[in-house]
Amino acid sequence: MNRSQLLAGAVGLGLLAGAVPSMAMTPAPAPAAAAAIQVAASSYDLAYSVRNIQQLLNQLGYDAGTPDGSMGFKTHNAIRAFEKDAQLPITGEASASLFQRLQQATAEEQGGQTSAVGRSTATGDVSLRSADVQQLEKDLKVLGYNPGSADGVYDHKTRTAIQRYQQDHAMTVDGLATPSLLASLDSDVQGQVSGGGSGLSPARTVRLQQALGAQGYYQGGPTGIYDQDTRDAVRDYQRASGLSVTGVADNNLLARLESGSSYGTYGAASPTVIKQIEQSLSDKGYRVGPIDGRMDTQTQTAIDDFLRQAQLSVSDQPSQQLLDTIRNSSMTAKEGSKKDLIDTGVNAITNLFSK
């Protein structure tokens, strides 16, 4: 085992013990021939530490504050934002696996971005100028995908926005601006411009917003304007119901909403109930990620942990019954952890004497 491996292991043990690593940035020395590009390359080979995670987050456009090795509020939020964009389980924790993904994202950004007008960047089957990338970013933003600022730089946020669009449209998820992706984007944007994002009249748009609000997807009062908030609510409903995610509503979608169709994978629970479940579990100390009314892996894990530790036989599918069970239980994450520790010790002793 070399010195770097020992150092990484020591940092990992410090995190497990609750310590906060505070080592300085320690990039591996670049070869003499590559000294001129050492600053750009150093991000690929850093030692694992909170300070370096903060540095990489800032470099990717996620505000982690001053890189001081301290896990403060800004750092937690920056990690959660990166995890959300990268479609990772949202933990807010400075883990070794997060550090590796940050290094990978930094390498991709530094290897593929361009900022000067007239220069090209290889982004797929075609090469795009900065002006082309800027238009790509504007199109993504119109469709409700956040590529960051439309600055003509093909960076991590642009790539992540493309991946989300590809996932919603059942395309190969590679983050590349291929001709087929550009054609699909152009078609969707033209549809938004020509129809205001929907084929509904203002009166029907009011009904759409009311129906989305009743199921927990749309916040605020109905305006009759098919704006970004309405488009995002439609996309969330489409995703939850297993429909093609376009953000575009028509009379068929309105009829489906007003008929009280099921909530897709959510079963009988609306996003409002799921959000209340997340809040109740969070109040008890369970890690549910963002409290956003969406059933992701972290929320499901928190539900399963709670039911196991409380020794309850209620279905783990989100429902009003599950919400009431959580609220009425005295089980907390702290008590559950103690119980798990005791159970582990008992099992170890039992196994020892059974041999």
DSSP track, 209-277: HHHHHHTTS--S---S---HHHHHHHHHHHHHTT----S-B-HHHHHHHHTT---GGGTT--HHHHHHH
Distance CA 192, CA 260 (A): 26
Eight-state DSSP code of residue 303: H
CB 65 within 8 A of CB 72: yes
Provide the CA 333 distance to its chain's centre, in angstroms: 24
Instruction: Tell me how crowded residue 156 is: count the other CB atoms within 10 A of its CB.
Output: 27
Joined together, the tokens standing for residue 61 give: 């456009």
Taking only the tens of pLDDT, the chain with its 355 residues reads: 443 443 334 334 343 334 334 334 444 444 433 333 333 334 445 788 888 899 899 888 888 888 888 888 889 888 988 887 777 888 888 888 888 888 888 887 665 443 322 233 444 445 667 778 888 888 888 777 778 888 888 888 888 888 888 887 778 888 888 888 888 888 777 765 544 455 567 788 888 888 888 888 888 888 888 777 888 888 888 877 777 777 888 777 888 887 765 444 344 467 788 889 999 999 999 998 888 887 777 888 889 889 989 988 877 777 888 899 999 999 999 998 888 788 777 766 776 766 5
Full set of structural domains in the chain with CATH = 3-112 (no CATH), 120-193 (1.10.101.10), 198-261 (1.10.101.10), 271-354 (no CATH)
Q: In degrees rounded to 5, what are phi and psi of residue 144?
A: 95, 10
Strand partners, 128: 121
CB 316 within 8 A of CB 300: yes
Taking the complete model, does pTM exceed 0.85, yes or no? no
CB-based burial label for 349 (10 Å; 0-12, 13-18, 19+): exposed
Distance CA 64, CA 155 (A): 18
Joined together, the tokens standing for residue 82 give: 């990166």
